[in-house]
Amino acid sequence: MASGFNSSKNPPALKSKALSIANANALTSKMSSIFSEIEDPRVERNRVHLLTDILIIAILSVIAGAKGWEDMENYGLSKCEWLSQFLKLPEGIPCADTFRRVFERINAKVFEQCFRRWVESIVENTGAQVIPIDGKILKGSYDRALGKTALHMVSAWSSQHRLVLGQVKVADKSNEITAIPALLELLDIAGCIITIDAMGTQTAIASQIFNAKADYVLALKANHPTLHAQVKQWFEQHLQDRFSGIIHSYDERVEKGHHRTEKRQIWCIPLSQLPPLHNQSDWAGLKCVVMVVRVRHLWNQTTREVQFYLTSLVCDAHKLGQAIRLHWSVENGLHWTLDVTFNEDACRVRTGHAPQNLSLLRRIALNALNLEQSLKRSNRQKSNRAAMDNNYMLTILTACLSHHHDAEKPCCQ
C-alpha cells in the first residue's frame, strides 16, 4: 500500500518558526544589554510590566510605523501571540498610558548614552567620514498653555552610511551654538570631516574640531559681516579674470534630475593667496576659503546662488565639493525622512521627557531601517513590511544588532 507523502517530526514551517523564535530571543537579549543602564523610573509597587518589555515593544512598534502611545499599544495587541514567545509579558501588553508614563520619566540623557553606545559598535565597522551637524525643531512639541516652546534637537549624521550618530537637546532660551560643542564632546571625531551651517561657524567650535584632530568645513554667511564682506569682495574681484596668476583649485559638476539641471562650480583658494583676513588667527587650523556657485535651471526660471566656506582641509576643490554636497544629506536623509516617514512635525507629544525620548526612538528606527539593505524599497515600504511580516522585522533587527558588542569603541575612525 502506498505510504503517501513522508511526514517528519519537524515540518519545514515549524523549523522555520522555531528558528525565528530562537533568533528573536537572541536579538531581544542584545537589545536588553544595550539599554541595560536605563533605570526604571516607576515606583516598585507599580511595576506591573517589565521595563525591558516596554522598551522593546516601543522600538519594534516605531520601526513598524507607530506615531504615538496608542499605536504602540495597538502594535503590541496585534502581535501579542508572537511577542509572548520571546518577551515575558507577565501582565500582557502594556496600555497606552503605561508607555506614556514610562517615556515621560525615563532619563533622556541615559537613553541617549545607550543609543550612542549602540551606534559606536556599528560605526566602528562602517567608518564614518563626513559628518554633517544640523538642528531640527520638532514643531508639534510646543505647549502654549505652559508657555513651552517646541523642542530643538541638534543631530550628528553619518552622510555616507545614513546613520544618526548622536543628538543633543538645545537648552531653553538658547540656540545651536551651545548645543553643537556639547554634541562634539560626546563623539570621537578624530579623522572625520565636520560640516556645519552658518549658525555653527564660530571660532570656538572650529578650535574644538581642530583640537580633536578632525577637519571642518564651515559655511560663512552674514552672521560674520566683516569677514563675509571681505571674502565676497575679494572673490568677486578676481572671478572676473578667472583667478589669473593665483594658485587655486577648481572643480565643476553638472547634475540633472527632477526636471532641473544644476551646475556647481567650486573654487578653493589657500590662505597664502589671500590678503590677511579679519581676525584670521582666531580660526584654528584654517587653510583655505572656498566659493561655491550653484546655477539651477528649472522649467520656468534660472537661479544663481553663491556660498562661501572656511575649511581646515588642504586646497582640493573636488574633495571639498563632495564634502559640501554631502552636508545636505542631513536634510534629505534625516530631517525629511523623519517628517515624511515618521510624521515627526505633526506629533503632539509634549510632556516630561517624552518628546526627547520619542525623538530618539524615531532615530533608532531610522538607523535600523537604513542598515537593512536586503529589501530595495523606501523606508516607508520597509516599515510597512515590518509591520506585516514578523520575519522581516527580525531581519531588520539582525541588520542593526549584528555588529553590537559591549566593548566601548570610538565613534569615528
248-267 per-position pLDDT tens digit:
999 999 988 878 899 999 99
Q: Give me the pLDDT at residue 160, please.
A: 79
* Cα–Cα distance list, 387 to 13, 157, 375, 381 (Å): 21, 26, 14, 10
Handedness of CA 349, 350, 354, 358 (dihedral sign): positive
Say what the pLDDT of residue 146 is.
Answer: 85
pLDDT value of residue 8: 47
Is 403's pLDDT higher than 80? no
Cβ-based neighbours of 11, under 8 Å, separated by 6 or more? none
Is 261 in a helix, a strand, or coil? Answer: strand
Helices (H) and strands (E) in the chain, counts: 15, 9
Tens of pLDDT, residue by residue over 28-83, are 999 999 999 999 999 988 899 999 999 999 999 999 999 999 999 999 999 999 99
- As a whole number of angstroms, the distance between CA 107 and CA 32 comes to 16
**Average pLDDT for 403-410:** 45
pTM here is 0.88
pLDDT higher at 317 or 121: 317
pLDDT at 16 over 90: no
More confidently predicted of 4 and 199: 199
Task: Report residue 20's pLDDT band, with 50, 70 and 90 as the boundaries.
Answer: confident
DSSP helix/strand/coil, 310: strand
- Residue 410 pLDDT exceeds 50: no
| pLDDT tens profile 175-197 | 899 999 999 999 989 889 999 99
> Beta strand 302-311 with 288-297: parallel, antiparallel or unpaired?
antiparallel
